[in-house]
Chain A
């Protein structure tokens, strides 16, 4: 090999390598690189509007909401008032959205609604960018959007285009401005709170829709719900921070269930009364305002929450709403103004009454009050006819007092119930009173402040039950007896239980029932049942029912000789004991039913032949 060629080869390689390195270096320096843009804050709404109006003279002069804040000559805003700026800002976002849709090929006439939707979307983005809180209306919009998105994930079926969920959200959006007072600046700290309460109600509404495939809420119903239920909760927010803390805690606990109660009621009414107006928002407002004002006013130990518990308060609220929907006039004055004081008085009065009865503290007392409220509410028109000067809430309070006073007969000194009532749980106790109240509801004449017929019935039954120390009857059997007694007492005013609450033991029905129990109890020892007892449980209940029914007839003899029933029963039991093959409990009842009317009327006990004939009849 020629050594010169080798050297040239080395030199060529060197030149090529250097040229390559240079070219590579040039490429490294000159190739396209990324240069970041300026990152300036998007600016407040005022700043964005200033820029938008400066750049877009056409909408600045032609759109009223924009032109009224624009000085075209000086090209500057005329004001920075938040309420005007917020309104104009929404229009600006709509304008942007419209342009975006049109540039995407959409017809200008079709995009107005969608532009509004897009504008709402832009508002979300805007808020994330800004560090200061958005205005009330935007904040509420965001809440609706967030909750809607939240529900899309868990319940996609209720939030499609044109779906029931979408309609509900739109209805909320249309009506949420009701929550904001005209003076936006005065809204101040309520914004967060209103936002929270609105969210609670929307969740409840969507939850109601999710669990009921046929429910569709109307705009006007949602408007009434927001105006009548949501707004009073927001309005009742106290001024002082200390009171607010307490109130917010309570609302956190109560607003959710309250909203559910309201939507449940709305759903029921929507299903039941298609086309009918759901409710009068003023009446709803009176109930809601009264509840939350009462909660606020009676903090601590004196609170109705303290007496009824949160669960109980919601039950009461639900009852109040039912009455407000069914009988809105009860919560409205002559000039159609809401009368919140009525419900407040009722709540505080019930709490004061029941505070003395530990057994009726908590949800049981609330359910009792709610039940009475519903009975009175449903029969208010009849009651008002009885005494137009007697306010219906006084009747309700009087009824509660009569019931509790009546039950006082069954309370021991330590506040616990005695006799058969000691085996009653809360539900059974309420059921006992419910069967009585059902009868009262059918006979509104039993209600009234001066007339204590209800109290006499409750007291009489309680007194009679107090005699059942051996628990010969189950709670369910006593409830059935109470129903029969109430029915007969309603049909025979003053006869079975008298009208004197002073000594219910003197009442005829009480005397007779106690006599029956006394006889039955003899067959019951401290260790339990004696040999062949025939009078207990179902047979005893049937015997008492038979006596009560018979008391509605001729009672001439028993009035003068109150031990007639004892004699009759003892006689029957003796015969049954002597001749067990002939008498079973069924036979004994057959004979008892056949002759109790005659015994009460003329005081003559049946002969052996009459009994034998009755047994084979």
Chain B
């Protein structure tokens, strides 16, 4: 009887410990779902209406997801959860559009990607693919919006037979921006080589849509830049736009080392 009593007490203690652990797992899973749902709600419902309020909410949500992920990343068996939280945090930081959280975006993206690499073949497909894309996505958006490339290009008009210093300066800014954009677009295209995309139809569609979008944006913008240089050369045949801005270099900008994957075409 005494032996049975010990066995029962031990089993009950294990039960308590395991059940506490299960409760914590359930709580965390519930929080993960809730956080994901909240992210979706902010992005789909709040952000289109009020970007400022959404920005604050997104950063708060990202901070929460980051703290959960940081807590989980060292725990055995909890790495996928940590990666999921990093995916949420990186999405929220990216979509907040706040330049003050750029470092946090890099941190969560890199931490998540490191965890993905550590898991090797067991790394969750979607979250790990997304974590590779989020930095070039954010960078390309920032480059396009902060500089206002489209507006800058439109502000340059050599057809009026006038080449102002400001226009020359603007052309230089546009060129620098396009160089950065080129690097980012190529980073996006590199992800297209990831074999996981071949069999993950959902991510394949997501990737193809956004990669094509990035490529179209880059190609069109760069081509108009080339046209501007041609117009300058036509209007001012005896002038040089700037030593570092030539038609040849501009055309070279249009050539990318990588192509969009065939499964996207």
The reply to whether the CB of A301 lies closer than 8 angstroms to some CB of chain B is no
Interface string of A35-78 (1 = CB under 8 A from B): 11111111110111011001000000000000000000001111
Interface contact A46-B26, CB-CB below 8 Å: no
CB-based contact B22/A20 at 8 Å? yes
- Say yes or no: B15 contacts A132, CB within 8 Å: no
Q: Bound complex: CA of A41 vs CA of B149, how far in Å?
A: 9
Whole-angstrom distance from the CB of A66 to the nearest CB of chain B?
15
Residues of B within 8 A of A47 (CB): 150, 153, 217, 220-221, 224
Which of A17, A29, A32 is close to B124, meaning CB atoms less than 8 Å apart? A29
Provide the residues of chain A in CB contact with B151, threshold 8 Å: 44, 131-132
Cβ of A80 < 8 Å from any Cβ of B?
A: yes
**B259 near A: Cβ within 8 Å?**
no
Leading 9 A-B pairs by shortest Cβ distance: A28-B29, A21-B22, A21-B25, A34-B40, A51-B220, A28-B32, A50-B220, A44-B150, A25-B29
A38 in contact with B214 given A21-B29, A54-B220, A79-B159 (CB within 8 Å): yes
Inter-subunit contact B4/A25 (CB<8 Å): no
Smallest Cβ distance from A45 to chain B, in angstroms?
8
Q: Determine whether B192 belongs to the interface, using a CB cutoff of 8 Å to chain A.
A: no
Chain A positions within 8 Å of B18 at CB level: 14, 17-18
B228 close to A (CB within 8 Å):
yes
Which chain B residues border A79 with CB–CB below 8 Å?
159, 227, 231
Query: In the complex, what distance in Å separates the CA atom of A453 from the CA atom of B226?
Result: 79
Known contacts A18-B18, A40-B144; A31 and B40 CB within 8 A of each other: no
Chain A contributes a number of interface residues (CB within 8 A of B) equal to 49
Q: Is the CB of B227 within 8 A of A78?
A: yes
| Residue A22 is within 8 A (CB to CB) of chain B in the complex | yes
Q: What are the interface flags for B12-34 relative to A under an 8 Å C-beta threshold, 1 for contact and 0 otherwise?
A: 10110011011101101110110
Which of these, B160, B206, B214, contacts A35 with CB under 8 Å?
A: B206
Query: Which residues of chain A come closer than 8 Å to B87, judged between CB atoms?
Result: 33
**Of A2-10, A170-178, A433-441, the one touching chain B:** A2-10
Check if B224 sits within 8 Å of A30, measured CB to CB. no
Q: Are B8 and A36 in contact (CB under 8 A)?
A: no
Chain A CB within 8 A of B108 CB: no
Q: Contact partner of A36 among B33, B95, B202, B224, CB < 8 A?
A: B95
Q: What is the CB-to-nearest-CB distance from B62 to chain A, in angstroms, rounded to a whole number?
A: 13
Q: Type the 1/0 row for B157-173, where 1 means its CB is closer than 8 Å to any CB of A.
A: 10110000000000000
Q: Cβ of A34 and Cβ of B43 under 8 Å apart? A: yes
Q: Complex: how many Å from CA A47 to CA B181?
A: 15
Asked whether B4 lies within 8 Å of A3 as measured between CB atoms, the reply is yes
Shortest distance from the beta carbon of B4 to any chain A beta carbon, whole Å: 5
Q: How far is the CB of A22 from chain B (nearest CB, A)?
A: 7
A13 within 8 A of partner (CB): yes
A385 in contact (CB, < 8 A): no
Question: With A and B bound together, what is the CA distance between A32 and B40 in angstroms?
Answer: 11
Also in contact, A46 and B154, with CB within 8 A (given A25-B28, A28-B29, A31-B33): yes
Q: Which residues of A contact B160 (CB under 8 A)?
A: 185
Question: Cβ of A77 and Cβ of B227 under 8 Å apart?
Answer: yes
Residue of A nearest to B7 (CB): A7
- Sample 7 A-B pairs with CB under 8 A, ordered by A number: A21-B25, A34-B40, A38-B214, A40-B217, A50-B223, A51-B216, A51-B220
Q: How far is the CA of A75 from the CA of B228 in the complex (A)?
A: 15
**Is there a chain B Cβ closer than 8 Å to A609's Cβ?**
no
Q: Which of B12, B28, B29, B144 has the most C-beta atoms of chain A within 10 angstroms of its own C-beta?
A: B29
CA distance A223 to B44 in the complex (A): 47
CA distance A34 to B210 in the complex (A): 14
Among B26, B91, B127, B206, chain A packs the most CB atoms within 10 A around the CB of B26
Beta-carbon contact of B22 and A18 below 8 Å: yes
- Interface: B36 (CB within 8 A): yes
Give the docked Cα–Cα distance between A18 and B15 (Å).
Answer: 10
* Most A-side CB within 10 Å, residue of B12, B40, B220: B220
For A96-107 the 0/1 string (1 means CB < 8 A from B) is 000000000000
Report the separation of the CA atoms of residues A132 and B202 in the bound assembly, to the nearest whole angstrom. 37
Residues of A within 8 A of B217 (CB): 40-41, 43, 47
Q: What separation, in Å, do the CA atoms of A50 and B221 have in the docked complex? A: 8
Does B213 touch A at the CB level, under 8 Å?
yes
Chain B proximity of A44: nearest CB distance (Å): 4
The answer to whether A7 and B8 touch across the interface, beta carbons within 8 angstroms, is: yes
Is the C-beta of B60 less than 8 angstroms from some C-beta in chain A? no
Of the candidates B4, B14, B30, B150, the one whose C-beta lies within 8 Å of that of A43 is B150
Binary contact track A291-334/B, C-beta < 8 Å → 1, others 0: 00000000000000000000000000000000000000000000
Tell whether, in the assembled complex, residue B25 and residue A38 are in contact, meaning their CB atoms are under 8 Å apart.
no
Q: Is A163 an interface residue (CB 8 A)?
A: no
Q: Determine which of A3, A14, A41 lies in contact with B8 in the assembled complex, contact meaning CB atoms within 8 Å.
A: A3
Q: Which residues of B contact A24 (CB under 8 A)?
A: 25-26, 29-30
A38 and B141: CB pair below 8 A? yes
User: Considering only CB atoms, which chain B residue lies closest to A52 in the complex?
Assistant: B220
Across the two chains, which residue of chain A brings its CB closest to B92? Answer: A36
Whether, in the assembled complex, A580 has its beta carbon less than 8 Å from a beta carbon of chain B, the answer is no
C-alpha spacing A80/B80, complex, angstroms: 51
Could you mark each residue 447-487 of chain A with 1 if its beta carbon is under 8 Å from any beta carbon of chain B, else 0? 00000000000000000000000000000000000000000
A196 to B160, CA, bound (A): 27
A80-B228 in contact (CB<8A): yes
Residues in A with CB closer than 8 Å to B231 are 79-80
Whether A276 is near chain B, meaning CB under 8 Å from some CB there, is no
Contact B154 A44 (CB under 8 A): yes
Known contacts A41-B150, A47-B150, A14 near B4 by CB under 8 Å: no
Interface residue from B8, B150, B213 paired with A38 (Cβ < 8 Å): B213
> A35 near B22 (CB under 8 angstroms)?
no
Distance A3 CA – B6 CA, assembled complex (angstroms): 12
Asked if residues B219 and A54 are in contact (CB atoms below 8 Å), the reply is: yes
Task: Report if A11 contacts B (CB, 8 A).
Answer: yes
